[in-house]
A and B are shown apart, each in its own frame.
Chain A
Amino acid sequence: MEVLRTALTQLRAHILRSMLTMLGIVIGISTVILVVGMIENYRSNIENDLSKLGANTFQVERYDGQAFRDPDQRDFRKIINREVADVIRDRCPSVRFVGAELWRRGQSISYKGEKTNLSMLIGGATPEFAINNGYSLETGRFITERDVISHTRVTVIGMDAVDKLFPRENPLGRVVRINGQKFTVIGVFEKQGAATIGQGRDNRVIIPITSWEDMWGKKQSANLTIMAMSPELFDQAQDEVVGVLRQERKVAPGEENDFHIFSNASLAETLGGFATNMQLYGSIFGFIALLVAGFGVANVMLVSVTERTKEIGLRKAIGARRKDILRQFLIEAIILCLVGGLIGLAAGLGLVGAFGDWPPSVPFWAIVMSMGSTILLGVIAGYYPAYKAANLVPIDALRYE
């Protein structure tokens, strides 16, 4: 207790010096907490997003790299015709639903002179779209097989469009303009919320795939979303789909697939690897900051020992043993580090909270580990100065000016 009191007195007495010394620790710890916290946020959001994708569902696209695509590295591949969905439906017994989607980015839709900005994503879809992608309807109905066959001018819109165009009206039955054409609103998607990968999913505006092709043609590659019959048949369904696609697209045996399959598992793997890398780099940076801070702490403790030589001499003269002095200076170093660590922790949590959800969620192990490492840092950085102090000869120390 007494030692703690002395340590805090010293810290306060040299407040500027202490703060400057602590800065490295504050930076190191807040970085580690920030990185770990952000990754945690990110991971839980991704898991959230992925579960929205619909259970047992995978997607087929022409190119891989949904999240991090690099156009330069693509070889040319022919488009995926949406009609291949029908072939899959006929020939893959483990597949429950096959949906085809065509997308048009950067669109605007309007209603009575009111326009959304160009952030709308217009999807031409088949009826399986909603279930395969995990969308539910707030009101109205989704596109049916009949809508697709008859090229109906109907649309199901997301919350972004509703908020902009129908702030006080029920959108059902209203006629909006998409690409200059009139479409009747037949349904509204439930609010999806923000997403970690890409944009949120509230900007989707879905029309029958045939109506989409009427406006934008048949030259665009379709995305297929495929749901397996059951979790057990998920791999089987993928194998069947790969087989059909290779045959339809005339891929020679031994050649690589000229299409890419995404599933929750493969996506989670990629993103998990990314998160692990971030965590690694963050930890390395934090570790380096702590290491540098350690030298600062050792230095400031050595200065403190020199400045307080006379005090050490006095303490020894009136009965302090080596271990009393050693303990005193070690605890001072630990307190210095720990206070820095706590400030860093608070700053880190604040930053995580500012960038993500409040209250910030940082895994308990990260807090324990970071505080543990500041204490360890205090012991390591403080040991030599404390040892030096403990071994001062009292008569010399008392005479020191």
Chain B
Amino acid sequence: MSSRSLITIQRLHKVYFLGATKVHALRGLNLEIKRNEYVAIMGPSGSGKSTLMNIIGCLDVPTDGNYWLNDQDVSSLNDDELAHIRNKEIGFVFQTFNLLPRATALHNVELPLVYNGTTAKDRKVHAASALEIVGLADRMDHRPNELSGGQRQRVAIARALVNKPSIILADEPTGNLDSKTGVEIMEIFADLHGQGNTIILVTHERDIALHAQRIIHIKDGFVEKIETVS
């Protein structure tokens, strides 16, 4: 393992069963991602891209192989330990935003802080400043249905930022947005990267992937090639 890398993945295997069918999603994949890198993961469906993303996001565990995140071996943690790592280290941004419909923007952003015991007062302060970073300081009391798609995704990005995670893991973040709004969201990711955040972008759109410094192409459970964006 390398202590300089934020993510070190070695010989990662993932086998799961889809009914009676055995699916070998990852077949000994190796990957390193350094701190403050901006990386895109691309690959056709069935390539193992989503499985890799789930393991990087600590939503799933590998069948074999090792995954060090921030110098900690997270390959064999139990559910509650993984929940703790997700809370501390990962900020998720989803294609479908996944906001709580009945909660205000501020309350949505507070949510990760609820699960690490932050006091109500501190939650509000942190959530408000995260919303300021994504330019929604004036929309804190709005509910998701009172916000545009782009604004909703920005709330979701603020939620991903609020715990100051090691990685921001974005899964097709512009997939549900029109191209103009998509550009705005990609600008926010570029800003966040500029401020020192590590960003991992999962996408199947080359235009989007080109915002990253490196593009990792996954095919048949392996890294097919790593492309450096000039």
Chain A residues in the interface with B (C-beta under 8 A): 1-2, 9-10, 13, 310-311, 313-324, 394-395, 398
- Give the residues in chain B near A13, CB-CB below 8 Å: 102
- The closest CB in chain B to the CB of A316 belongs to B83
- Asked if B189 is at the interface (CB within 8 A of a chain A CB), the reply is no
- Is there contact, CB below 8 Å, between A321 and B92? no
- Is there contact, CB below 8 Å, between B94 and A319? no
Given contacts A2-B114, A321-B79, A321-B84, contact A395 B60 (CB under 8 A): yes
B65 to chain A, nearest CB (A): 18
User: 1/0 per position for B89-115, CB-CB distance to A under 8 A?
Assistant: 000101000101011000000011011
Q: Residue B79 contacts which of A9, A311, A322 (CB distance < 8 angstroms)?
A: A322
B130 to chain A, nearest CB (A): 13
Interface size class of chain B, counting residues whose CB lies under 8 Å from the partner chain: 20 to 34
- Give the residues in chain B near A317, CB-CB below 8 Å: 57, 59, 86, 92, 98
- The closest CB in chain B to the CB of A13 belongs to B102
- Give the residues in chain A near B79, CB-CB below 8 Å: 321-322
Given contacts A395-B54, A398-B94, contact A318 B115 (CB under 8 A): yes
- Give the residues in chain A near B114, CB-CB below 8 Å: 2
CA of A323 to CA of B84 in the docked complex: distance in angstroms?
Answer: 12
- Is there contact, CB below 8 Å, between A318 and B100? no
CA of A264 to CA of B120 in the docked complex: distance in angstroms?
Answer: 63
- Is there contact, CB below 8 Å, between A319 and B98? no
- Is there contact, CB below 8 Å, between B102 and A318? no
- The closest CB in chain A to the CB of B94 belongs to A398
CA of A319 to CA of B88 in the docked complex: distance in angstroms?
Answer: 8
CA of A284 to CA of B87 in the docked complex: distance in angstroms?
Answer: 48
Given contacts A2-B114, A394-B59, A398-B94, contact A318 B86 (CB under 8 A): yes
Given contacts A316-B83, A395-B59, contact A321 B98 (CB under 8 A): no
- Give the residues in chain A near B100, CB-CB below 8 Å: 311, 314
- Is there contact, CB below 8 Å, between A9 and B102? yes
Chain B residues in the interface with A (C-beta under 8 A): 54, 57, 59-60, 79-80, 83-84, 86-88, 92, 94, 98, 100, 102-103, 111-112, 114-116, 120, 159, 163
- Is there contact, CB below 8 Å, between A319 and B115? yes
With A317-B59, A323-B80 known, 9 other A-B pairs at CB within 8 A are A311-B100, A317-B98, A318-B115, A319-B84, A319-B88, A319-B115, A319-B116, A321-B79, A398-B59
CA of A393 to CA of B87 in the docked complex: distance in angstroms?
Answer: 16
- Give the residues in chain B near A324, CB-CB below 8 Å: 115
CA of A9 to CA of B88 in the docked complex: distance in angstroms?
Answer: 27
Residue among A2, A9, A314, A320 facing the most chain B CB atoms (10 A cut-off): A314
Residue among B92, B115, B116, B120 facing the most chain A CB atoms (10 A cut-off): B115
- The closest CB in chain B to the CB of A390 belongs to B79
- Give the residues in chain A near B54, CB-CB below 8 Å: 395
- The closest CB in chain A to the CB of B80 belongs to A321
- Is there contact, CB below 8 Å, between B80 and A322? yes
B67 to chain A, nearest CB (A): 16
CA of A394 to CA of B87 in the docked complex: distance in angstroms?
Answer: 13
A386 to chain B, nearest CB (A): 16
Given contacts A394-B59, A395-B59, A395-B60, contact A318 B84 (CB under 8 A): no
- Give the residues in chain A near B102, CB-CB below 8 Å: 9-10, 13
CA of A318 to CA of B115 in the docked complex: distance in angstroms?
Answer: 8
Q: Residue A314 contacts which of B84, B87, B98, B116 (CB distance < 8 angstroms)?
A: B98
In the assembled complex, 12 residue pairs joining A and B whose CB atoms fall closer than 8 Å, in A order, are A1-B120, A9-B102, A10-B102, A317-B98, A318-B112, A319-B88, A320-B83, A321-B83, A321-B115, A324-B115, A394-B59, A398-B59
- Give the residues in chain B near A321, CB-CB below 8 Å: 79-80, 83-84, 115
- The closest CB in chain A to the CB of B51 belongs to A395
B125 to chain A, nearest CB (A): 16
- The closest CB in chain A to the CB of B116 belongs to A319
Residue among A2, A313, A319, A324 facing the most chain B CB atoms (10 A cut-off): A319
CA of A10 to CA of B100 in the docked complex: distance in angstroms?
Answer: 11
CA of A398 to CA of B97 in the docked complex: distance in angstroms?
Answer: 11
- Is there contact, CB below 8 Å, between B80 and A319? no
- Is there contact, CB below 8 Å, between A398 and B115? no
- Is there contact, CB below 8 Å, between B98 and A398? yes
- The closest CB in chain B to the CB of A324 belongs to B115
A328 to chain B, nearest CB (A): 10
Residue among A1, A310, A318 facing the most chain B CB atoms (10 A cut-off): A318
Residue among A9, A311, A317, A321 facing the most chain B CB atoms (10 A cut-off): A317
CA of A310 to CA of B100 in the docked complex: distance in angstroms?
Answer: 10
- Is there contact, CB below 8 Å, between B86 and A310? no
Given contacts A13-B102, A310-B98, A324-B115, contact A318 B92 (CB under 8 A): yes
B32 to chain A, nearest CB (A): 24
- The closest CB in chain A to the CB of B159 belongs to A318
CA of A313 to CA of B87 in the docked complex: distance in angstroms?
Answer: 13
- The closest CB in chain A to the CB of B114 belongs to A2
CA of A314 to CA of B111 in the docked complex: distance in angstroms?
Answer: 10
Q: Residue B83 contacts which of A9, A10, A313, A319 (CB distance < 8 angstroms)?
A: A319
- Is there contact, CB below 8 Å, between A320 and B98? no
- The closest CB in chain A to the CB of B112 belongs to A318
- Is there contact, CB below 8 Å, between A319 and B120? no
Closest 9 CB pairs of A and B: A319-B87, A319-B115, A318-B112, A321-B80, A314-B98, A321-B83, A395-B59, A2-B114, A394-B59
- Is there contact, CB below 8 Å, between A318 and B111? yes
- Give the residues in chain A near B159, CB-CB below 8 Å: 318
- Give the residues in chain B near A316, CB-CB below 8 Å: 83, 86
- Give the residues in chain A near B112, CB-CB below 8 Å: 318-319
